[in-house]
Structure 1
Amino acid sequence: MPSSKICIIGAGAAGLVTAKHAIKDGHEVDIFEQTDSVGGTWVYSEKTGCHSSMYKIMKTNLPKEAMLFRDEPFREDLPSFMSHEDVLEYLVDYSKNFPIQFNTTVNDVRRDGEKWKVTTSTNSNEPVSHFYDVVFVCNGHFFEPLNPYENSEFEGEMIHSHDYRRAEHFEGKTVVIVGAGPSGIDITLQVALTAFEVTLISKKAVHPVLPKTVRQIASHVKSVYENGVVTDEGERIYADVIIVCTGYVFKFPFLDSSLIQLKHNDLMVSPLYQHLCHVDYPDSLFFIGLPLGTITFPLFEVQAKYALSLISGTGKLPSDISEIQNFEARRLQGLQNPGAFHILIEEQWDYMKELAEMGGFEEWSYMETIRKLYCYIMSERKKNVIGYKMVNFEMNDDETDFRVVGI
C-alpha cells in the first residue's frame, strides 16, 4: 500500500487517535496544534475567551470504561467518573513521540491541483505553505459559543458556559442558568453551593432530584430584559447573573465557504457524507468528531479507521455517487429540527457498525459493553442527576458486562 502525506489539524482526542492509526498504517503525518499542549478541550485554563471550555472542578459524564481508545485502557486506580486532569494525562501519554508542531495555527486549507495546500503560521513568523495528499480536520467543536442572548439589554453579568470556571465567583448572587444539558446541570449543581438562589430554565428541566436552592422551570427563555429573563409563558425572573448553557456552533476559520458551508445557524457542516467525508473529496478531506450525543473517543477511532481505509483503498464508498451526494438530503428529511443534523445518540451504534462494515475492519466486540454502560448511565442520569456519577463500575472477566459498586 503506498503511503500518503497526511495533515492533521488539532491535537485533541480526535486528532491524536487519527494520528495513531495513520502512523501505524505507514503514512507520513504532520499534526498542527495551535496551543502549546495536546488535549484540546481537556486542557484547563483559568483564562476565559480562549480555546478551553473546561471548568475547575469537572467529572466526566461518561465513565472511563466507556470513553477509552481500543487497546488503551485508563489507569486501573482511577474512579469510573474521572476528573478532567485524568483525561488529559491519558491523552498526553497516548501522544508520546507523535510528530506534533505546537503553537502552529492553520490559516488556510485549499485544493491546489491534485494536492491540498495547507498554510500555517507560528507566532509572528511568516506563513509557510505545505502540500499534502490528505487533510484531517480535528479542531473540535467546544470553542465557539452559541449564545442567542448576547445582544440583549441585560445590565447584570452574562457569561456562556464556555467561560465558566468556578462557583466561588457567584457567591450570594441570584443566578439564572439557561439550558439543562451536561454543562448546564454540572454548573447548576456547583453554583447552587455558593449562590443565594439558582433558577434552571430549559425544556429538559424536569429532574426529580435537585438541591433545595434550585428552582427549575421546564420552559424556554423567550427574551432577556435589563434585570433578568422572560419565559415563553411571560414569567419575569430577576437575575444578577445569567449563565447561558446553549451549546456551541461549528467553526473552521481556515476553510473557504466555497469548500465548506455552515448551515442551520452554524450547527450543520456541509457537504459531507456520513458526517465525515467531504462529498467532492471523499477520500482526501475528512472531519473527525462532528457527531454529538455520542461516546466520543471510541467513535472518533471508528471514524478515523474508516477514513484511513478509504485512503488505502481497502474501504468502500457507495458505488452510486448519488448516494454520497444525497446523504444530507435523506438525513434532513427525517429530522424535525435541522440543527440536530449531527446529533446521533441512539443512532451512534448502527453508525459505527456501518463504518466498520464499509471500512472492512472488525467491529470492536467490547462496543456492545460500552453500549450497555451508556444506556445504563443515561437512564440513571434521568433519575438522579446528582448521584449518577457517585458509583464505580466493575467489569466481569470477559468484559461483556459490568456491575455497579459504590465509591
Structure 2
Amino acid sequence: MSDKTDATSATTESRTEGKDPAQRVGIIGAGIAGLVTAKIFLENGFDVQVFEKEPDLGGVWALSRAYPGLRANTAKETYSLTDYPYPASTSGYPVAEEVRAHLESYADHFGLYPHISFNSEVVRLAEIDDNGRQGFSMTVRSRADVNEEESREYTHEFAYALICSGAFSTPMMPDLPGRETYRGLVRHSSEWTHPAVADVRRVVVIGAGKSALDCAAWAAREGKTSTLVFRKPHWMVPRYLPGGARSDLRFISRFIEMFVNYPVRPWDEKLLHGPGKPLVWLWWTFLSAVVPRVLGMPKLMTPEHKLPVGFESVGQVDDFFDLLNVDRITAIRAGVKGFYDLGVELDDGTQIEADLVIMGTGWQRDMSFLSEELRSKVYGNGRFHLYRRILPPGQQRLAFIGFFPTLTCPLSSEVGAHWAAQLFTGNMSLPSTVEMDQTIERLENWARERVPELEDGVFTGPYIGHYVDELMRDMGMPTMRTSNFLKEYLGSFLPSRYGTLGEELKAAREGRLKKRFYLGSLHVLAAVVVIWIVM
C-alpha cells in the first residue's frame, strides 16, 4: 500500500490549490469513521483532506494496532458499511485482516486514497475568526516515512473540521509502581501485534474486557502459561447460539432494543417500561441466567449484577471459557499492587512470574490537540458536551464522528456523517443553543445514572435504533426502513437498510423524494377494528 500513501504537505497543498476555501474540510483519522466521513463529504461536493497519524488506514484494525486473534464483535452483516458489503468469502465474524482488507478496498473503490495523508498527526486544532472568515487552523506533524526520525510541521486552514479519531484512540495504561524494576515486557493489548514470540513463555493479562480475554486465549493457544488477573468480571455473550445461529443477528433488532431503557421513548416503549415493566424484568432475568450456561462461565467470572447493567462493556468471545474450563488459562480475581523484578504482585501479596504483561485495560480519548478555547466548547464539566453526540453547540463548524460507538458502529458513523454533511451544506436546521444544551443534559443525566464510572461521558451500548432514528428525523428521512412492522421490528437491524440514504437525501434536496410504503402496527390494528365493526 506504500504507493498509495503520502504524508507530505506539498502534496496536500497541491490537492486543494484553486478550490473554494469555503468548502475545505479537514478530517482527523482514517479509521472506519474517517473513511465513511471522507466519502460522504466528497459526495456532497466538499474539498476533503484526511490526516492519519499511522502509516496505514483502519484505526483499531490497522496492522500497527490489531492484537493477535482480533475479530469483529458482531457479524459481517451487522459490522458492515451500508453500501459496500463484505465479500461472500469473508468469515461470519471478520478477523482483523479481513476488516482491514475490506476498508482498503472501500478506500480504493471510492477514490479516497488521494485525499489521505498518512504518517500525519494533528498536534493542534484552533478556531479562526478573522474579519468574518471562520474556520480552523490545523497544525500537522508529518513524516514522509514511518521510519523517518525527523518530522516537519505544517499548518492548514479549513472551513470545517471533523474529528474521527474515535473512542478507542489512546491506550489506557495504569501507572503501576515498580515497573522500572521489572525485567520483562509490558504492552497494551493493541500494541502486542506479533502472533508468536519464541522467548516469551509466561503471559499475564490484566483486565476482564473482550480484548483481555482474547489475549489470554491467544497465549493459551500458543502453548504459553496464561494467567488472567481482574478486579471484576464483565458480561460476555456467545458468538453462536445453540443450533449454530449467530447471536447478534438475533439480538440486534428493534424488538430486543425495546427492552433497553433509553431517555427518549416512543409510545410502545413507554407502555413496556411502565405497565409492562414485569416483562422487561423477566427478559433480562432470563438472559442473565441463560448466558453463563451457554458460555460455560464459571462463578468467578460471572458478574453479580444482572443484565442490562454492564451491557455497555459486553463482548463476544470465542474459546476463552473453553480454555479456562480445561485449565489452560488461570483466572485470578484480585487487584494488582504493582510490579516486581520477575512479574506482578497482587493486592494480597501473591507474586506471579511473567515474561510478558499485557494490559487489557481499555482506552481513553486524547483531545490534547484542541486549543483551550475549543476545549471549553467541546467539554462541559469534564465530559463531552455534544448535541446528538456529534456537535458542540458553541462551535457549529466542528463535528465528532464515531465517538459514541454502538453495537454497529460503522452504521452509526455513516448516518452521523450524513447528519454533519446535511448541516454543513445548509440543508438541515438546528434547535436553539438552549434547546440543544437541554437535550445534552437530559442524555447526560441518564448516562451518569447508567454508567457512572465513565469520566468523559463516552459510552457504548445497544442503542443503535434509537440513536439512528434521532439522526434520521433531524434530516427529515423516514425512520422505518422496511415495508412492514414485522420485518422492521423482528428482523435483524442491518446497515444495508440505509444503503440508499445518500441518494434519498439528494432526492429530497431536489424535491423528488418519493414516500416509502410502510405497513405499521397501527394500520393493522385499525384494519382489524374496521373489519370487526363491519362484521
Task: Tell me the TM-score normalised to structure 1 length.
Answer: 0.77
Look up the equivalent residue of 2:205 and give its one-letter code: I
Mapped to 2, the partners of 1:320 and 1:261 lie a distance apart of 15
Look up the equivalent residue of 2:370 and give its one-letter code: L
Matched-pair contact (CA < 8 Å) for 2:77–2:494? no
Matched-pair contact (CA < 8 Å) for 2:393–2:436? no
Instruction: Report the counterpart of residue 156 of structure 2 in structure 1.
Output: 130
Look up the equivalent residue of 1:182 and give its one-letter code: K
Instruction: Report the counterpart of residue 185 of structure 1 in structure 2.
Output: 213
Mapped to 2, the partners of 1:20 and 1:188 lie a distance apart of 37
Matched, 1:258 2:373: yes
Larger Rg over CA atoms: 2
Shifted more, 305-314 versus 201-210: the winner is 201-210
**Residue among 130, 140, 150 paired with 1:120:** 140
More helix by share: 2
SS in 1 for 2:34: helix
Mapped to 2, the partners of 1:245 and 1:128 lie a distance apart of 35
**Residue among 180, 193, 196 paired with 1:165:** 193
Mapped to 2, the partners of 1:60 and 1:21 lie a distance apart of 24
Matched, 1:23 2:42: yes
**Residue among 213, 229, 236 paired with 1:201:** 229
Change (3 A) 1:197 1:235: farther
**Residue among 338, 348, 360 paired with 1:245:** 360
How far off is 1:100 after superposition?
Answer: 2.1
How far off is 1:316 after superposition?
Answer: 4.1
Structure 1 gaps of 5+ residues are 45-51, 374-407
Shifted more, 311-320 versus 158-167: the winner is 311-320
Mapped to 1, the partners of 2:57 and 2:79 lie a distance apart of 17
Deviations 1:326-378 (A, max 9, x none): 625534542422337211312333122212212323447389655489xxxxx
Mapped to 2, the partners of 1:356 and 1:174 lie a distance apart of 51
Runs of 4+ in 1 over 6 A off after TM superposition: 261-264
How far off is 1:156 after superposition?
Answer: 4.2
Mapped to 2, the partners of 1:143 and 1:168 lie a distance apart of 25
SS in 1 for 2:138: strand
Matched-pair contact (CA < 8 Å) for 1:149–1:223? no
Written as runs of structure 1 = structure 2, the 5 A alignment for 1:137-156 is 137-153=163-179, 155-156=182-183
Matched-pair contact (CA < 8 Å) for 1:310–1:316? yes
Matched-pair contact (CA < 8 Å) for 1:199–1:214? yes
Matched-pair contact (CA < 8 Å) for 1:170–1:191? no
Instruction: Report the counterpart of residue 521 of structure 2 in structure 1.
Output: none
Matched, 1:176 2:176: no
Look up the equivalent residue of 1:330 and give its one-letter code: N
Written as runs of structure 1 = structure 2, the 5 A alignment for 1:293-308 is 294-308=407-421
Matched, 1:83 2:95: yes
Matched, 1:318 2:431: yes
Shifted more, 32-41 versus 129-138: the winner is 32-41
Matched, 1:216 2:331: yes
Deviations 1:161-199 (A, max 9, x none): 122123532767333211122211111111012355322
Look up the equivalent residue of 2:171 and give its one-letter code: P
Mapped to 1, the partners of 2:452 and 2:106 lie a distance apart of 40
How far off is 1:310 after superposition?
Answer: 1.7
Change (3 A) 1:235 1:316: farther
Mapped to 2, the partners of 1:289 and 1:100 lie a distance apart of 18
Look up the equivalent residue of 1:192 and give its one-letter code: A
Deviations 1:222-280 (A, max 9, x none): 42241544556x2624131321100111113421233227999xxx7533233221231
Matched, 1:358 2:474: yes
Change (3 A) 1:296 1:370: farther
Matched, 1:104 2:124: no
How far off is 1:102 after superposition?
Answer: 3.2
Matched-pair contact (CA < 8 Å) for 1:275–1:342? no
Mapped to 1, the partners of 2:448 and 2:91 lie a distance apart of 42
Change (3 A) 1:210 1:14: same
**Residue among 22, 31, 49 paired with 1:12:** 31
Identity among equivalent pairs (%) = 24
Deviations 1:124-177 (A, max 9, x none): 676433322210011234442212144434624222212212353276733321
Mapped to 2, the partners of 1:40 and 1:133 lie a distance apart of 25
SS in 1 for 2:397: strand
How far off is 1:72 after superposition?
Answer: 0.9
Q: CA RMSD in A?
A: 3.2
Matched, 1:59 2:71: yes
Residue correspondences, number:
359
How far off is 1:286 after superposition?
Answer: 0.9
Look up the equivalent residue of 2:213 and give its one-letter code: I
SS in 2 for 1:140: coil
Matched-pair contact (CA < 8 Å) for 1:167–1:193? no
SS in 2 for 1:356: helix
SS in 2 for 1:344: coil
Task: Tell me the TM-score normalised to structure 2 length.
Answer: 0.60
Structure 2 gaps of 5+ residues are 1-20, 144-149, 234-300, 303-319, 483-487, 496-535
Change (3 A) 1:229 1:94: same
Matched-pair contact (CA < 8 Å) for 1:178–1:201? yes
Mapped to 1, the partners of 2:122 and 2:358 lie a distance apart of 31
SS in 1 for 2:79: coil
Matched-pair contact (CA < 8 Å) for 2:68–2:218? no
